[in-house]
Every structure is written in C-alpha cells, then in structure tokens.
Amino acid sequence: MNEIYFVIMVVALLVILILLWLMYKKISGTNQVNLKDELDRVDRSFRDELSRNRDEIG
C-alpha cells in the first residue's frame, strides 16, 4: 500500500515540475522588444498627459 502512495506522489511531483517548466518556458519566451515597445508607449502617454496638464495650468 505504501508503494502505491509513493508512486502517486512521484507522478504528482513530475506533473507539477512539468507544469512549472512549461510556465517558465512561456514566460521566458516573451519577446523583450515587445516589453520595450510597451514601456515606450506608456512613457509617451505619460509625457503627453503631463504636457496637457502643464498647458491647462499655464
């Protein structure tokens, strides 16, 4: 009976490790250029909003 529990735990551990590896692979596979483009877009948006606020005040 203990052998069955051991096998179940080993299989569960393998499934968890495979899922974690797949998640890591998906995360590390994201394109760095897309992140840079997104940050540039947010920066431009922030600067535009800041400029509009200055124009309204001044």
Q: Residue type at 50?
A: L
As a whole number of angstroms, the distance between CA 9 and CA 34 comes to 40
The residue range of the domain holding 52 is: 2-57
Q: Given this model, what pLDDT does residue 19 score? A: 94
Taking residues 34-56, report their average pLDDT: 83
pTM for the model: 0.47
CA–CA separation, 3 and 5 (whole Å): 5
| Number of independent structural domains in the chain | 1
Helix, strand, coil percentages (3-state) for the chain, rounded to 5, are 90, 0, 10
State pLDDT tens for residues 8-44. 999 999 999 999 998 888 777 665 567 778 888 888 9
